[in-house]
Structure 1
Amino acid sequence: MNEKKKSVFFDKRDENYIHLSSPIYFLEMFTKKKIKCDIIIPQTIIFSKGTATLWLFNSKSSPTPLILKKNSNKLNFVEVCRVLCRVKQNEDFRIDTLTTLLDIIKAGKNEIAAFARISKTKKSISKVDLVKMFLDGNISGLQILQEHLENQSKADELFYVEYRQDVINLPVSYRFFKKSTQKQVIQQQLPKKLSQLHIQQQTQHSDSYDDGNKNDQVEYVDCMFKFFDNQMNQTLSKIVKKLVDFLEKAYKIKVKKLVAKFMQNDQHIIYFLGLKELLVDFNDNAPYEIQNMKNELKDNSSFENFLILIKMFTRLRNKKPMKIPQTIYEDDKEISQKLYKNLIVQKCVGDFCDYIMEEKNRGPLQIRKNIVTDYKKYFGNKKMNEEKFSVTLPHEISFQLILRTRECSQEVIEVLMKNKIFTRNSKHHFQEFDKINTDEEYPFKFNKTEVYNLPNLYKTVKICKNCFVVYSLASKYFDQRLSNDLQQKQWIKRDSSSLAQQQTSLNTTHQQLSQLDRSNLKRNDSRIRQNQNQSLQKIKTQTSQNNAEKEQGENKVRKIQSAKQFRVIQSAHSQAPRTFKLFMPNQQTQLENTKRNCSSSKTNNIDINRLTMGFLNYTKPPKPNKIQSAKMNSGGLQSQRSLMESQHLKRSDSQSDQFQRNRINKSQRQLNSNRQSFFQGKLRIIEVPQTQYSLLDVCQLYDLEYPPESVPDIFLESVNYFCFEQCAIPYLILQHQEDDQEINKDNQSGLDLTEKDHQIVIFLGDFFDNSFEYLDIMQQNIKPNTTILLMNLPGQSYTVFDPNIIQDNLDISLLLDSLLFELCQKDIIRNNDIYKFIGYGYGGFQVLSYMTHVQNNLLKIGGLLIINGFCEIDDMLTDTLKKSKEVFQTCPTDMPELGFHFWNSLIQSHEEKQDPRYNPISLNGRLHIINGLIKSQNLWNSCVQEIPIKLYHGLKNCVINIKQAHLIKQSSSSNNSCEMNLLNFGHKLQNLEELLFEFI
C-alpha cells in the first residue's frame, strides 16, 4: 500500500499495522501459530464494487479441517458443511437457509442441516459459486449471523462510517464498512504456441486445486465490505454524531459528508483514528474568508487541508477597547482599600480534628439546650422543637487560643478527660482513666508554642467542628479561671428584712485553707452552677454596727433551730490568716437595694467569647483578692440552699430581664431568615453565615463524590497537595542542593536564617498548562539561596475541584496566600524573604490580582515577570472564552486530543506541543477555569506598592491582544520601573528558558 501523509489524528494502529498478506489471512494466521480449531464460523463477506467476492471464516476451537489451501481459489465445501453441521461422515445434506441453520445451532438439535446442495461426484466448489449460494438465500440471515456469532479473531479490525446529509430537511444517512486487502492475479498474454498447451492443462486439472500461472503478476487491492452488526453500528453512529456536533460548533460549519475511521482491538475497545473525507458548508457568521475557502477545498477536501485553510483564511475582528472607570467598587468598597486581614486561611489548623466526645453533654449541644430553657422560662411549659434552635457553629478562632491550649496542655487534658473526649482510634477504654498514656492519647502537647512571624499571631484561622468543641471547652475553662482572678468581692444575700452578721476570727495556715477550699469546690460546684445562670456580681454591703448587734441573738436562735450553716471564704492568694463569716440568706429586699449601688462594678465580671474576640492576654498575673467566691461547707445550710428555688438567685445587674427578652426576640426574628445567631456568653451576640464549608481530604476523595480515577497519578515523587475549601492543588518546591544541606545544619544547631538574602520564586502557568512540565528548566536555571514554587491552579492538571463552585481571581488570591501562610508555618519560607513572581498568560493575571490584595504585608518583592499577561477581560477575550466554553461542552469526554487541537489552533500554534499523557487536563477543568475568569474583576490602579515589572508579549502561543501589555504598564504604580518588550515567541519552554536566566 502507498504511504499516506500523517494526519493530526495519526496512529500507528493503521492499515499498515494490520496488513493482510492474502484474502485467506485467517488460515495463515492459525497455521503459523499452530492454533487448532474445530468450529469454523462465517463472519464477513467482502464486497468489491458492489459485488460480494469473498466469504471469510473465523475459527473458534480446535482442530481445524482443511477447508482452504494456501493461495488457492477453491474451497472444500464438504469440509465446511461437515464442520458447521457437526457431522463426522460424508452424508447427503438437505438444502436450508442461513436463518434456519442459526436457529438449529442455537437450539442445540442433532438434525443434519446444510445450506447448499452437494454433488457426491464433485467434492470442491469455487468461492464465487459459494457466495452466490448465500446471496440466493435470505439476506437478513447474514445480519443475524454477524450479530450473534462472536468474532474470535485476534487481529485488530478497521471500521469506516460514512455520514451524509446533503439537504438539511432530509434525515441523516449512515453507511458502515470494513476494510481488507484482496489478492488479484493479472494474467499475462502467452505466445500462440503455448496457448493451446495451457488450455489443455487447465481442462485436465479443473477438479483439483489451481495455484495459478507462475508468470502471472499478483496485486493487492483494497476492498470495502458492508457490515451488518446493528449493535456495533449504533455505537459507531453515536460517536460520529458527537464528532459532527463538535466540528459544527467549533468551526461554524455545516457538515454534509464525512468518513470517520475507527479501530477495534482484541479487547473490544474502539479507537478513533481520524477523518478521511470532509464536505462542508459554511455558516453566514463563520469567521473565515468563505469564497477562498471553497475554492481551495475543491481541489483537496481532506480534513488536514481544512485545518490548514482555517488558519490561513481566518478574519480578524477589529473591536474598540472598552473604557474602564478609574476606580472599581465591590460591595461598596474600593478594591485598593482592601486589607490583608481579609485573606483568611481556609484550612483547619486545629489539633483536635480526630477527637470525638463520648457523651454529648457539653459544647454546642449544651448551648442549644440553654436557649430552649430560656424559651420555656418566658413562654411557660410549651413544648418547643429543639431543631428550630440549632446553632450554627463559628469557624474562626484566634491563633492565640491554639497556642494557649498547647502551653496549658496538662490542664486542657484534664478537661478533655472530664468530658470523655478521646481520639477516634483510641486504644484505651473510656472508663479506665488511670491506664491512659497521655503522650500517646493527646500528642498535641508536643506541638510548637511559638511563632517566628509576629503578624501570624494575630490572624484568625479556620477550624473544623471537632476542633470547635474542644476549643470551646478550653475557652470556657480559661474564662472561668480569668473571672475568678478578677473577682474581688462576692456575697450571697438572704431574704430577711434585716441582715445580721457574725464575725468569727479563725487563724489557720495557708495549707489548711487551700485544702478546705479545694474540697468545697469539688463538692459544691455542680449544685451551685445548676441553679445560677451567671456568677453573682460583686455586692457591697452597707450595714451599721447597731443592726448587727441587735440581730446577733436572733441568728444564734435560728442557727440552733436549723442546725445548718455555710461559710464564705476569703481568697487564698495571700499568706495572711483567713477570716470566716457566718450569716443567713433571708432577706430579698436588701439584695435589691444593694445591687443598685454596685453598677460601677459590672465590668469586673464580663463573660467574654474567646472564640471570636481573640488577642486577649490569658497570662495576665492575678491581682490579690480580698474575698473569693462563696463556697458552702458540708452540713449547715448547704442542703437547705440546694432545695431552694432558682427565683432567689437572679442576675445582679438591673437590666438582666430586658437583655434576655431582647435576645429571645432576636432569635424569633431569625428563625425564618437565612442567617442564625450564635450564643456563647450572655453579653455578646455574633452572627455567622448559615452555609458551612467542609474541608477536603485528598486521601478520602470518595467522601466528596470524586472518583479516585478522576485524579491521574503524578509522575513526580516530591509533589504535595494543599487543601483549600472545596479544592486541592499540587505544588512542588525546588531548592538548591547546597541550600538543603545548610538548612539541615542550621535547624540542628538552632540558628535563624532570616538574615540571609533568600529569594522565593513563585511560578503560575498559562490557561491549560501543566506547571510541572517546566521542572527541567527550573532545575537547570536555579541559583544558590533560591527556592522555586511550582503549582497548578484549580482546574488544571492533577487538581481536585468542585465544578459547581466558581472561583474568581479573588478566590485564587486567597488560595495563594493560604498556601504561603502554610509554608511559612512549616518554616519552608519566611516573611522577610525576597519574593519574585512569574506569570504566564492566565497565571500573569492571577499574579497581578494577588498584588492588589497583598498591599504592604510582603516586605520584600523582588519583581514580576509577566509573559502574555492581561489586566482586563475585554470583549475580544470574552468572546474567545465563550466560544471555547461552547466547544469544550460539546467535545466528547473520551477524546481529549480534540480539546488540545482546538486550543492550539486558537493560539496560533502550528505544532502539537501538549500531550494528554503529560498534561492530563480534563474538559471539566477547562470549563472551571473559563467560568472563573469570566466572573473575575478587572485590575486598574489597584497596586499601591511600587514593584519592578518586566512585560513580554509574543504573537504565537498567545490569545491576548498586545494592547493588554500597554494597559498593564499604564495602570501600574511603578510605571518608571516597568519594562515592556515584544518577542517572536516559538516554543513556550524555549522562551521561558531565555528569560529565567536574567530574572532569577
Structure 2
Amino acid sequence: MNEKKKSVFFDKRDENYIHLSSPIYFLEMFTKKKLKCDIIIPQTIIFSKGTATLWLFNSKSSPTPLILKKNSNKLNFVEICRVLCRVKQNEEFRIDTLTTLLDIIKTGKNEITAFARISKTKKSISKVDLVKMFLDGNISGLQILQEHLENQSKADELFYVEYRQDVINLPVSYRFFKKSTQKQVIQQQLPKKLSQLHIQQQTQHSDSYDDCNKNDQIEYVDCMFKFFDNQMNQTLSKIVKKLVDFLEKAYKIKVKKLVAKFMQNDQQIIYFLGLKELLVDFNDNAPYEIQNMKNELKDNSSFENFLILIKMFTRLRDKKPMKIPQTIYEDDKEISQKLYKNLIVQKCVGDFCDYIMEEKNRGPLQIRKNIVTDYKKYFGNKKMNEEKFSVTLPHEISFQLILRTRECSQEVIEVLMKNKIFTRNSKHHFQEFDKINTDEEYPFKFNKTEVYNLPNLYKTVKICKNCFVVYSLASKYFDQRLSNDLQQKQWIKRDSSSLAQQQTSLNTTHQQLSQLDRSNLKRNDSRIRQNQNQSLQKIKTQTSQNNAEKEQGENKVRKIQSAKQFRVIQSAHSQAPKTFKLFMPNQQTQLENTKRNCSSSKTNNIDINRLTMGFLNYTKPPKPNKIQSAKMNSGGLQSQRSLMESQHLKRSDSQSDQFQRNRINKSQRQLNSNRQSFFQGKLRIIEVPQTQYSLLDVCQLYDLEYPPESVPDIFLESVNYFCFEQCAIPYLILQHQEDDQEINKDNQSGLDLTEKDHQIVIFLGDFFDNSFEYLDIMQQNIKPNTTILLMNLPGQSYTVFDPNIIQDNLDISLLLDSLLFELCQKDIIRNNDIYKFIGYGYGGFQVLSYMTHIQNNLHKIGGLLIINGFCEIDEMLTDTLKKSKEVFQTCPIDMPELGFHFWNSLIQSHEEKQDPRYNPISLNGRLHIINGLIKSQNLWNSCIQEIPIKLYHGLRNCVINIKQAHLIKQSSSSNNSCEMNLLNFGHKLQNLEELLFEFI
C-alpha cells in the first residue's frame, strides 16, 4: 500500500466526528470523539467529452445504488437520472430507458433537483429538463453535475478556502473545497502503474455487486472536491477577507497565501476552525526579526507556529532618549543645558522662514536695526529668575495678510524676484533668473487661501525676522496699489455726471426700429425721465434739510468705526477675486489720525502699518447712474446703514459688556414701534431637536447577546443592575457570613450594641476584564465587618451602553458616585464607613479621577490600591489605543476571540484559555472603552485630600510605562503615605490574591 501524501486539506481531527464544544478560542475549541465523520457532499458526476467517467458518493455508511456495470467503465445515464430524480426501482415495472423515466417524472412534481456546470456557468435543472438533456444528447459541454440537496445528516460539513495573492497588482483568487470519501482499488497485477479510481459502494442488491479480484486491495481515501455553490462561496470569501485584513493590520504582514478551514453545523452556522499553509511577507516596519521568522516558517507554515514565532522573534523598539547638547547658542547667547529643557520656542506662522535676500545692505532690511535693538534689550539682562525661558518671536501681523499674499501669489513672486529673494538652498543665487520654475522656488502659493474657522481670520500671529522682511515688501506693494485704486476712484466720481448723460443717450439709440417700437420707446423714456426728475427733486430737498445731520452722522461713524471692525469692499479694478472681508485694527490712534487727515472732497494716500492691522480690501466704484450718485452724495442712507451694521460687529475694547446692554435695550424699545429695525429683519426661529429618551430593557440582556449559562459560579439573582443615563452596569455585593449571622441575632435579641467600624471595598477591573472573575478570590479573602462591591464599567462584559455616545472619566465618576448614593439610600452602605478602592490598570485611572471629585464628601478613606495604574493619557498610551482601535474595527464581529489573542500578545500576558468564556466582552465594548479613554482628561493634579496610596507596577498584564507610577506619586498631595513597589507579576488573579491579604 502506498503511503498517502500529506496535504494541507487533511487533518487528524477530520477522521473523527467533530463536535463544537464552545466558541471560546479558535485554536482550542474542538474535542475529538470516537464516532466516525459522516461527511456530506452533493452526489457529483464528472463528465469528459460527453461521457460520465467518475461518480462521487456522499457517504461510506449509507447505501447507494450501483451505477458502474460489470466489466464497464461507462456510467449508465438511466441510473444517473433515476438516482438524481429520486425515483425508486420497482420490481414489477422496471425502468430501462430514459423515455419511460420521463413519463414517470411528468406524472409527479416538477422540482429543482440538481445544478450543472456547463462552460463555467451554473444552472438549476428540474427533473424533466435533466432527463431531456440526456435524452437529446446535449451533454457535450457538460463538465460537472451535482445534486442540489440540503444537509439532511446530523454530521457537520467541512469547507476549505484557499486564498492567494502572489502579486499585489493581480486580483485575489479563491478556491473552495469540500471533503469526500471514496474507495481506491489497487490491483496487484499492475504494481508499477495504479489503475484508475473506481468509486464503488455496497448497495441493497448484494447480487449485483461489482466483482473484483480477491488479491486487490481496497482503501478508503479522503479527497477534496471543488464546491460550486456560489452563495456559500461568497459567504466564505467575505469571512476570509475579514480574517486577512485582521492579520495584516494586527501583525503588520502581507498575506500571500493561506488555507482557511470552516465547519457548518445542522443549524447552518459557520465556525472558523483554523488556518493552514500560511505564506506571508513582512512589512518594513514589522517589529520582528524577519530573517529568522522566514527561516522558521519554511519548515512549519501553520498559524499556530506563526503565533509562537511572533513571541520568540519580536524585537523591542525602545525610544532612544533625546541627547541634549551641553552648550546651546541662540543669537550670540549661550544657554545652559538645564535651561534648554524648560525652553519654550514659538512656531512661526509665515511662509518665508527659509528665504533670504541677496543684497543685504539695501532695501527693507534696514528694518533689522530695530530688531537688533529689541534683542539687545531682551538678552541684556544677566540675571533671570524665571523658571521657564521662552524665545518670543519679534513681530505680529494679521493672519489676513498671510492669506492675502497667498491669493496674490503671482504678484508677490514678482516682488520677490525683483528684490532677489530666494530660498537658502536655491540654485539661482548670483545667477540670471529669467527661466525660474516658480512652482519649485516659491511653493507658498500652493498653501491654503481659505479659513474654515472664521474667527481665525482676524487673529494676530507671530512671525520671524525673515518673514517680516517679505511681508513688509508685500504690504508696501499692496499700499501702493491701494493708493492707485483710490485715485482712480476719485477720477470716477468726477466723471460720474458725464457717464450718467451717456447712459441716457444710450436709451435713444434704438430709434432705428420700426414705427410701432419707436412710439412705445418714446412713451417709456418719457415716464422714466419724469420719475428721475421727481426723485432728484426729493433727494435735493432731503439733502438741504439734512446737511447738519449728515456732518454729525459722519463724525459718529468715524468714531464707532475706528474702535470696531470695518467692512471694506474690494476695488473693481483689482486682479484679486471680489470678496467681502473684515479686519481688526490693533492701533486705534493711527486710524484716528488717518481719518482726520482725510477729507470728503479729496482722498489722500493711506500710509498705515498693515503688518499689525491686516491688508485692506477696498471699496468698489459705484455704477455711473444719477440716482445712485445722488444717494451717495446725500449720505443719509449710507450713514444710517453703517450705524446699524456696526452694532453687529464685535468690540475689542473693555466696554463691550456695556455696549451689549445698550444694544439689548434699544432692540426692546423698537419692538413696540411700527418701524422694522435692522435687528428685527435678521431674526430667525431655530428649532432645537429634542432628545427622546427610552427606557432600557435590562431583562432582555442575556437573551439578546449573552446566555446565562456563560456566567459560571454566579447566580443571576445576586447580580443587580444599575441604570444611569442610557447605560446599565451589573454589580455584586459580598458580605462576610458571620456578619449576617450577627445581624440576625441582634435583630432577634433587640439589644443595642456598640457600632463597629465597617469598611467598604470597591473594586474596578482593567481595560477589558470582567470583575466577576475575581469573585472566588474576594470570597476567600473577605474579612468580618467588610463589604466588597464588584462592578463592571460601561463597555465591559454584561453591560448595556449606547455605542454612539462617548463616556469619558468624568461620566464614569458621576456613574460611580450615583451608584454609591443609591446603595446608601438602600442602607447597604453608610457615609460614615471606611472606604477603600482597588483599581487594576484602567480601573485605577477611574479611581484616581473619582478621588478628585469627592473632595470632602467621603469623610473616611482607608486608602487606595493601584495596580499598573496611570494618571494621564500620554503619547505612548494614545498610540497604543489608536492601533488597537484599528485592529478591533477590522476584526469580524462574530469572532471576538481574535481580539483576546491580540490584546494578550500586546500586554505580554499569559495565555488565559478560559478568558473568553468567563469574560464575553464584545468588540463594540472594546471600542467604547477606547473612545472614552482617548477623550478623558488628566484630573489627578487637582486632588487636594491626603490619601494613603499603595502603588504596584509589573512587567506583565500592563500597557503603560513605570513613569506613570512616578507621576502618581509626585502629583499626589500625600507623598509620605504613598508607597511604590516593582513586582514581577505572574497571573493577574494570583497577583491580586497576594495583595488583598495586606490591604483589606
The Cα of 1:823 is off from its aligned counterpart by 0.7
Structure 1, 478-487 or 902-911: larger mean CA deviation: 478-487
Deviation by residue 1:394-437 (Cα, 9 ceiling, x = unmatched):
99999999999999999999999999999999999999999999
> In 2, Cα distance between the equivalents of 1:721 and 1:66?
65
Q: Are residue 276 (structure 1) and residue 284 (structure 2) matched?
A: no
Bigger mean CA offset, 271-280 vs 985-994: 985-994
Q: In structure 2, do the counterparts of structure 1 residues 554 and 359 end up closer, same or farther at CA, with 3 Å as the change threshold?
A: same
Normalised TM-score (structure 1): 0.53
SS of equivalent residue, structure 1 residue 61: coil
Question: Partners of 1:450 and 1:745 in 2: how far apart?
Answer: 79
CA distance in 1, matches of 2:639, 2:776: 80
Is the CA contact 1:391–1:676 (under 8 Å) kept in the aligned structure 2?
no
How far apart are residue 909 of structure 1 and its match?
2.4
Structure 1 residues 88 and 235: CA distance shift in structure 2, 3 A:
closer
Distance 1:983 1:618, change over 3 A: farther
Q: Would the aligned equivalents of 2:277 and 2:302 in 1 still touch at CA under 8 Å?
A: yes
For 1:506-525, list aligned pairs within 5 A: none
Question: Do 1:571 and 1:628's aligned partners in 2 also have CA atoms closer than 8 Å?
Answer: no
Contact in 2 for aligned 1:571/1:625 (Cα 8 Å): no
Distance in structure 2 (CA, Å) of the matches to 1:482 and 1:749: 100
Using the alignment, how far apart are the partners of 1:200 and 1:550 within structure 2? 114
> Secondary structure of 1:40's partner?
coil
CA contact (8 A) 1:158 1:178 kept: yes
Contact 2:53 2:73 in 1 (8 A): no
Q: 1:36 to 1:620 in 2, by over 3 A?
A: same
Query: Judging changes above 3 Å, is the alpha-carbon distance between structure 1 residues 577 and 523 closer, same or farther for their aligned structure 2 residues?
Result: farther
Mapped to 1, the partners of 2:416 and 2:700 lie a distance apart of: 28
**CA spacing shift, 1:618–1:89, aligned 2, 3 Å:** same
CA distance in 1, matches of 2:308, 2:392: 60
Residues 935-961 of structure 1, C-alpha deviations (whole Å, 9 max, x = no match): 112245333222222222222222222
> Taking structure 1 as reference, are residues 455 and 289 closer, same or farther at Cα in structure 2, changes over 3 Å only?
closer
Query: Once the 2 structures are TM-superposed, how far is the Cα of residue 498 of structure 1 from its aligned partner?
Result: 77
Partners of 1:564 and 1:637 within 8 A in 2: no
Q: Are the equivalent residues in 2 in contact too, given 1:85–1:112 (CA < 8 A)?
A: no
Moved more, 688-697 or 967-976: 688-697
2:165 and 2:817 map into 1 onto residues whose CA distance is: 55
Range that drifts further, 330-339 or 497-506: 497-506
Given that 2:834 and 2:862 are in contact with CA atoms closer than 8 Å, whether structure 1 keeps it comes out as yes
Distance 1:563 1:329 in 2: 43
CA contact (8 A) 2:569 2:618 kept: no
Is the counterpart of residue 662 in structure 1 residue 662 in structure 2?
yes
* Cα shift readout 1:212-262 (whole Å, capped 9, x = no counterpart): 566655544331111111111111111111111111111121111111111
Moved more, 330-339 or 661-670: 330-339
Classify 1:523/1:741 alpha carbon distance in 2 versus 1 (closer, same or farther; 3 Å).
farther
| Contact kept? 1:506, 1:580, Cα under 8 Å | no
Post-superposition offset of 1:295: 2.6
Equivalent in the alignment of 2:887 = 887
Q: What is the aligned partner in structure 1 of residue 676 from structure 2?
A: 676
Contact 2:490 2:602 survives alignment (8 Å): no
Greater mean alpha carbon deviation, residues 488-497 or residues 763-772: 488-497
339-348 or 261-270, larger mean C-alpha shift: 339-348
In 1, are the aligned partners of 2:24 and 2:897 still within 8 Å (CA)?
Answer: no
Partners of 1:876 and 1:486 in 2: how far apart? 58
- Superposed displacement of residue 157, structure 1: 1.3
Asked if 1 retains the 8 angstrom alpha-carbon contact of 2:275 and 2:303, the reply is yes
From the superposition, tell whether residues 952 and 39 of structure 1 become closer, same or farther in structure 2 (CA, over 3 Å): closer
Give CA deviations for 1:880-899 in whole Å, capped at 9, x if unaligned: 10011001111111111111
Shift of 1:698: 3.2
Aligned to 1:47: 47
User: In the superposition, relative to structure 1, how do residues 512 and 143 fare at CA in structure 2: closer, same or farther (>3 Å)?
Assistant: closer
> CA offset at residue 363 of structure 1?
77
Using the alignment, how far apart are the partners of 2:748 and 2:447 within structure 1? 17
Q: Deviations over 1:689-723 (max 9, x none)?
A: 98787765635889999999999997532111111
Q: Which deviates more, 187-196 or 458-467? A: 458-467
- For the aligned residue pairs, the C-alpha RMSD in angstroms reads 24.9
**SS of equivalent to 1:198:** coil
8 Å contact kept, 2:27–2:273: no
Task: Provide the secondary structure at the position in 1 that maps to 2:504.
Answer: strand
Would you say the 8 A contact 1:288–1:310 is kept in 2? yes
- Checking the alignment, whether the CA contact within 8 Å between 1:765 and 1:843 is kept in structure 2 is yes
In the other structure, the counterpart of 2:584 is 584
Q: Distance in 2 between matches of 1:864 and 1:751?
A: 36
**1:271 aligned counterpart, secondary structure:** strand
Cα 1:923–1:321 shift into 2, 3 Å: farther
Could you tell me which residue of structure 2 aligns to residue 470 of structure 1?
Answer: 470
Q: Which moved more, 1:55-64 or 1:88-97?
A: 88-97
Tell whether the 8 Å contact from 2:581 to 2:617 is kept in structure 1 after alignment.
no
Determine if contact 1:164/1:256 at 8 Å carries over to the other structure.
yes
Secondary structure in structure 1 of the residue aligned to 2:198: helix
- The CA deviation string for residues 499-555 of structure 1, in whole angstroms up to 9 with x for no partner, is 999999999999999999999999999999999999999999999999999999999
Question: Is contact 1:30–1:36 with CA below 8 Å preserved after alignment?
Answer: no
For the residue of structure 2 that corresponds to 1:393, the secondary structure is coil
- Cα pair 2:405 2:474 within 8 Å, conserved: yes
Call closer, same or farther: CA 1:343–1:9 in 2, change over 3 Å: farther
Q: In the superposition, relative to structure 1, how do residues 36 and 777 fare at CA in structure 2: closer, same or farther (>3 Å)?
A: closer
Would you say the 8 A contact 1:248–1:254 is kept in 2?
A: yes
Q: CA deviation at 1:299?
A: 2.5
Pair 1:22–1:587, CA change in 2 (3 A): closer
Which secondary structure does the structure 2 equivalent of 1:167 belong to?
Answer: coil
Does the residue aligned with 2:676 lie in a helix, a strand or coil? strand
Seen in structure 2, the aligned counterparts of structure 1 residues 856 and 57 have a Cα distance that, compared at 3 Å, is same
Q: CA deviation at 1:977?
A: 2.1
TM-score of the aligned structures, taking structure 2 as reference length:
0.53
CA drift of 1:985 comes to 1.9
1:505–1:580 Cα contact (<8 Å) kept: no
Distance 1:950 1:900, change over 3 A: same
- Tell me, in whole angstroms, the C-alpha distance in 1 between the residues paired with 2:585 and 2:453: 55
C-alpha contact (below 8 Å) 2:500/2:626 kept by paired residues: no
Partners in 2 of 1:985 and 1:675 — Cα distance?
Answer: 80
Closer, same or farther: CA 438–136 of 1 in aligned 2, 3 Å: closer
Identity among equivalent positions (%) equals: 98
Query: How far did 1:315 drift?
Result: 3.1
Structure 1 segments unaligned to the other structure (5+ residues): none
Contact 1:759 1:835 in 2 (8 A): yes
Contact residue 770 and residue 792 of structure 1 kept, 8 A: yes
Assess if the C-alpha contact under 8 Å between 1:183 and 1:221 holds in 2: yes
Q: Where does residue 491 of structure 2 map in the other structure?
A: 491
Tell me if structure 2 keeps the 8 A contact 1:490–1:630.
no
The separation in 1 between residues aligned to 2:519 and 2:822, in whole angstroms, is 46
For residue 925 of structure 1, report the CA deviation from its aligned partner: 0.5
Contact 2:765 2:792 in 1 (8 A): yes
After alignment, is 623-632 or 935-944 more displaced?
Answer: 623-632
Is the Cα–Cα contact under 8 Å of residues 23 and 183 in structure 1 kept in the other structure?
no
Secondary structure of residue in 2 paired with 1:538: helix
- Counterpart Cα distance in 2 of 1:217 and 1:803: 63
Per the alignment, do residues 562 and 82 of structure 1 end up closer, same or farther by CA in structure 2, a change over 3 Å counting?
closer
**Structure 2 residue runs without a partner (length 5+):** none
- 1:975 offset after TM fit, Å? 1.9
Pair 1:158–1:878, CA change in 2 (3 A): same
Q: Cα distance 1:327–1:734, how it changes in 2: closer, same or farther (>3 A)?
A: farther
1:153, distance to aligned residue in structure 2 (A): 3.5
In 1, the alpha carbon distance for the partners of 2:24 and 2:705 equals: 52
- Tell me if structure 2 keeps the 8 A contact 1:98–1:115: no
Q: 1:83 to 1:658 in 2, by over 3 A?
A: closer
Q: Which residue of 2 aligns with 1:697?
A: 697
Which range moved further: 142-151 or 231-240? 142-151
Deviations 1:39-80 (A, max 9, x none): 999623699999998523469999986779999999898655
How many pairs does the alignment contain?
1000
1:296 Cα shift?
A: 2.4
Structure 1 residues 100 and 378 mapped into 2: Cα distance closer, same or farther (>3 Å)? farther
Take 1:163 and 1:105, find their aligned partners in 2: how far apart are those partners? Answer: 42
CA spacing shift, 1:180–1:509, aligned 2, 3 Å:
closer
Question: SS in structure 1 opposite 2:696?
Answer: coil
Residue 172 of structure 2 corresponds to which residue in structure 1? Answer: 172
Q: Distance in 1 between matches of 2:755 and 2:451?
A: 17
